[in-house]
Structure 1
Amino acid sequence: MDSKFLRGTFFLTAASLISKILGFIYIIPFTALVGTQGYVLYKYAYGPYTILLSISTIGLPLAVSKFVSKYNEIGNYRVGLTVLRYGMYLMVISGIISFTALYLSAPFLAGILIDPNDQTGNSIEDVQFVIRLVSFALLIIPAISIFRGYFQGSQSMGPSALSTVIEQVVRIVFILAGAYVTIHIFNSSLTNAVGIATFAAFIGGVAGFIVLLFVFFKRRELIKKQRDMSPNNEDIKVISIFKELIGYAIPFVITGLAIPIYQNIDTFTINKLFQSIGYKLDEAETINSVIGLAQILVMVPVSLATAFGLSLIPGITSDFTSGRMLQVRSKISKTMQILLFFTLPAAMGLGILGEPIYIMVFGLENSHVIGGLILQWYSLAAVFFALFTVTAAIMQGINEHKKLIIGIIFGICLKIVLNFILVPYLKEAGPILATYFGFIVSILYNIFIIKKTLQFKLSPLLQSLKEVFLLVLAMSIAVWCVAFLTELWLPEVVSLYYRALVTSIISISVGLLVYLGVGYRLNLIKKLLSNKG
């Protein structure tokens, strides 16, 4: 069973990683096709869609997974199928409600984003159009999430993994092919190209759902046999099931919504804030778009770091439940060390190489000067996003759900207020610093609660991080020197794009060699990734 579970977990993790990598890579050709104006239109649609998707699924997939696993373990396979059936009904209903809400609210949302008196950027009609097209995905994605939760709870990770990859591949192919055909073959508008791209979420969802249905019907005889031969087939009232599920799931929803909410605050306030200080709509939309592109780059190291860090969380939860506080504190220290080992160098690298990396990834056409500047400002968000994600997971592991929600609300309120205060004075840096302050408040609050609840001491953790800080400093100096010397060495005739490409590749390669090489020599990597707490 352990071998099967580990193999399944590997498939699921690999699928998630492949999906995230594909989700990052496709943005490069997509922005080349539609530019910053097209990308910001795409962002307008996906922002509220992400929020409503999280609300419509109310965290049930994870809860269903744990619930099914729990009852399968005691030999009651009937309950798992009951949860799947009624969960599917619930997700269909919530999907229809969410679709209707997003479709009908499109004019209202577009009115918040766009000033109808300024014709320099996207129009209200454009924004309405793309929001309404992406809303169709809410009819299918919630139902998929319940199916995945059921399979994962049954220790069958393959169907979830396969459907995740298929959904993402189909979505990306539809986005890129649809946008290309719309612009270059049918010579249609940018708005129609972006509309096709947003509708791709529905097409990808259908593909993923077909995969799950196929697997389920292929296994239905085995599933019925398991149910009929279960040693403990006691029925549980549906109301009791959902009361337990929803009570467990809601804190996960709020935590998962934190980063999308921060991103949506920027999406929905930046245009009006910058127009209020004299910017035209197209200029404000450029900043809005570039901040979204910087967020995508920053989330790459965050995803990798939290994947490693969060792997220790189940152990923290288990130890806390069993009262093994020494092991809990040890695993929290290890989690924080791993997190900073991965995110700090990435953040420093993005900060030093902001402009060349932005040009290398998104090209010269996509506002590279302001893009490089914003990426440099935004680079430290990698550390804050990862720290928030992991401290929030620890708070959930030690059953401090209510306090976690309070910390999130404090941070979000501060972010909204600071956006309005800082933008008039700090321009492009304003929303970024507001994000930092909001997350810092939530992170410090989480750490305070963790420290108080577990008698966790910070000084040993900070001592253990000294080597990581020194290693990051050495890497940063090496990267800065190499970038500076490469710029001097390259002849003037080399184009700006190829200068950025060469500078980025050489500097990143040297940075990796220094960081991993010195870290290996100091046995730091071995210590961090060992199984010892």
Structure 2
Amino acid sequence: MEYYARLHLISKVLGFIYIIPFMALVGEQGYALYRYAYGPYTILLSLSTVGLPLAVSKFVSKYNELGNYKIGLTLLKYGMYLMVLTGFISFIALYFSAPILAEIVVRNDDSGGNSVEDTEYVIRLVSFALLIIPSMSIFRGYFQGSKSMGPSALSTVIEQVVRIVVILVGAYTVIHIFNSSTRNAVGIATIAAFIGGIAGFIVLLIVFLKRRELIKKEIDSSPNNKEININSMFKELIGYAIPFVITGLAIPIYQNIDIYTINTLFHSIGYNNKDAELINAVIGLAQVLVLVPVSLATAFSMSLIPGITSAFIGGKMEEVQHKISQTIQAIMFFTLPAAMGLCILGKPVYTMVFGLNKNPELGGVILQWYSLAAIFFALFTVTAAILQGINEQKKLIIGILIGIIVKIALNLVLVPYIKELGPILATYFGFFISILSNIYVIKKALQYKFLPLFKQLQEVFLLVFIMSLSVWGVKWLTELWLTENLGIYSHALITSIISILTGVLVYLGIGLRLHFVKNMLGRYKNSAS
């Protein structure tokens, strides 16, 4: 498990780091074009897999435990057929809807920014990845269900590495060697998803072929190789998987609402296409930075979710409530300081990561305002997982849909008045409604009392307050001490590094002495081993 977790973490980190050199190559306009392609692709990828990789993983694990190894191979076979079909349908849908999507997001009556033709081109290129990624996902689900995490993790890293190499080498070659357009560089970056998917699939296929004899022996020696009805199997699988799809789509849907409404909304208040796309790109970059601590915090806290599910099934309600408190404490311990740090250091951190040519003034302001979204994203992810663990999926979906409606409505209402801050506040309100709905269901279903949790979190709040004061003070003193001759980028780099190190040392220096932190880290170590 630790090996799998490390590889998964490497994949997440790589997925963030490559954005920095890619942005240096293609600029905000190129990154906006990249977002136009990847936004709908992410949605259709989730829809094409319909959550089956996770469901297959659970079913293979279940039947292996029952001594029926044959059904796992049957699931892989028919699941692969289904993924090829749904992947092809999704490819067709995205490829042929590209002109419509392009006309929604950009307009041709404005000479600045990306054109409809550019947008249509990159959306069509990224659609090819839908022919391979769903099939690869079902393969991963099979290995995970067989309790073999290595092949899945390795293929994830290989896919990511190949994709990033193609993106960066391809974009550099197109721009600096062939002196071609940003559109062609972004085109290479979008087709890289398809190439990376092929690499990941080949890794899984090689491992499967090497283990073919072992799998055959397991099937031959299985004491309970019974056939099951394929139609009823898939009906049960899809019914189980759909809530996971909708939950996983929540953050991508919010991102796509921004991608596909921001340009139009800013056009309506007098912005030209280039300036609207700049805001679109900068909000996307802020999202990338914010999602880094979210992915790390949720990976930590989600390891506690299986314990909640098993305790609920066993009717141990006190244990369920205790584990929910532990999970929320963990998510707040990791996410809150990161969010506050980004809020205080918005401008220097944005400048340090993306450079002076990437509008640090606008980027810094947007990052400062967007930073607290990390808390909303993390709390939503964890409360949604808790609801799934206690079989309250329908109420979870209702809460998500209400939040999305609020987000769309507030985007329309707020942008004319507070401009680039409108989509950010709309995101806060949308997720707040969904989280509030989740909390209400948890409270009602489990008779969970939140007041004791707030008392338990007082230490975290005090710790974050002390850390925030330290970071703000060091930032102020560093900016006072540094000379103006140093240069804006060097100024931002030194300020960010010193302030971040101070925050980490203060937070961990005090935090690791707290009793609940020692217990939390001990629980995570035990769950990972």
Given the two structures, how large is their TM-score scaled by the length of structure 2?
A: 0.98
Deviations 1:445-483 (A, max 9, x none): 000000011010011000000000000000000000100
For 1:505, give the aligned amino acid.
Answer: I
Q: 2:320 aligns with which of 295, 307, 328?
A: 328
Percent same amino acid among aligned pairs?
A: 71
Cα deviation, 1:21-56, whole Å, max 9, x if unaligned, reads 000000000001101000010000000000000000
Task: Measure how far apart 1:224 and its partner are.
Answer: 1.1
Greater shift, 414-423 or 221-230, is seen at 221-230
Match of 2:478 in 1: 486
In 2: Cα distance, 1:221 partner to 1:531 partner: 38
Corresponding residue of 1:515: 507
5 Å matches for 1:348-363? 348-363=340-355
Q: Which residue pairs with 1:530 in the alignment?
A: 522
Which residue of structure 1 lines up, in the alignment, with residue 190 of structure 2? 198
Could you give the per-residue CA deviations for residues 94-139 of structure 1, whole angstroms, max 9, x where no partner exists?
0100000000000000000011111111000000000000000000
2:375 match = 383
Picking from 244, 247, 252, the partner of 2:236 is: 244
Counterpart among 415, 419, 432 of residue 427 in structure 1: 419
Residue from 54, 57, 63 that aligns with 1:65: 57
Residue equivalent to 1:299: 291
Deviations 1:279-316 (A, max 9, x none): 11100000000000000000010011101111010000
- Structure 2 match to 1:448: 440
Matched, 1:210 2:202: yes
Q: Determine the structure 1 residue equivalent to 2:399.
A: 407
Q: How far off its partner does 1:244 sit?
A: 1.2
- Alignment match, 1:260: 252
Corresponding residue SS for 1:273: helix
Gapped regions of structure 2 (runs ≥ 5)? none
Residues 1:83 and 2:78 aligned together: no
Whichever residue aligns with residue 520 of structure 1, its letter is: L
| CA deviations over 1:3-34 (Å, ceiling 9, x no partner) | xxxxxx22322221111100000000000110
Partner of 1:166: 158
Which runs of 5 or more structure 1 residues have no equivalent in the other structure? 1-8
1:496 aligned to 2:485?
Answer: no
The residue correspondences of 1:365-384 to structure 2 (distance < 5 A) are 365-384=357-376
Q: CA deviation at 1:521?
A: 3.0
Q: CA deviation at 1:382?
A: 0.4
Between the aligned partners of 2:8 and 2:403, the Cα distance in structure 1 is: 28
Distance 1:193 1:242 in 2: 41
**1:278-317 map, 5 Å:** 278-317=270-309
TM-aligned CA deviation for residue 372 of structure 1: 0.4
Aligned to 1:122: 114
Residue among 131, 146, 158 paired with 1:154: 146
TM-aligned CA deviation for residue 352 of structure 1: 0.4
Please report the RMSD computed on the Cα atoms of aligned residues, expressed in angstroms.
1.0
**Does 1:56 find its partner at 2:29?**
no
How far apart are the structure 1 equivalents of 2:512 and 2:327? 19
SS at match of 1:142: helix
Please list the CA deviations of residues 190-234 of structure 1 after superposition, one character each: whole Å capped at 9, or x if unmatched: 000000000000000000000011011111111111112210011
Distance in 2 (CA, whole Å) between partners of 1:496 and 1:298 is 23
Match of 1:6 in 2: none
Cα distance between partner residues in 2 of 1:105 and 1:374? 31
Report Cα offsets for 1:223-264 as digits up to 9, x if no partner. 111112210011001111101111110000000000000000
**CA distance in structure 1 between the aligned counterparts of 2:152 and 2:193, rounded to whole angstroms:** 17
Q: Where does residue 130 of structure 2 map in the other structure?
A: 138
Partner of 1:3: none
**1:524 Cα shift?**
4.4
Q: Which amino acid aligns with 2:130?
A: L
For residues 386 and 521 of structure 1, what CA distance do their matches in structure 2 show? 25
> Corresponding residue for 2:103?
111
Q: Match for 1:515: what amino acid?
A: Y
Give the alignment partner of residue 264 of structure 2, picking from 263, 272, 276.
272
For residues 229 and 283 of structure 1, the distance between their equivalents in structure 2, rounded to whole angstroms, comes to 66
Partner SS for 1:427: helix
Q: Report deviation, 1:517.
A: 0.5
Which amino acid is the alignment partner of residue 34 of structure 1? V
- TM-score scaled by structure 1? 0.98
Distance 1:222 1:283 in 2: 59
Equivalent of residue 44 in structure 1, options 27, 36, 60: 36
CA distance in 2, matches of 1:522, 1:90: 51
Secondary structure of 1:521's partner? coil
Letter matched to residue 21 of structure 1: V
Structure 1 distance, partners of 2:5, 2:443, is 30
SS at match of 1:272: helix
Once the 2 structures are TM-superposed, how far is the Cα of residue 492 of structure 1 from its aligned partner? 1.0
Distance in structure 2 (CA, Å) of the matches to 1:169 and 1:513: 32
Distance across 2 between alignment mates of 1:12 and 1:146: 17
Aligned residue-pair number: 525
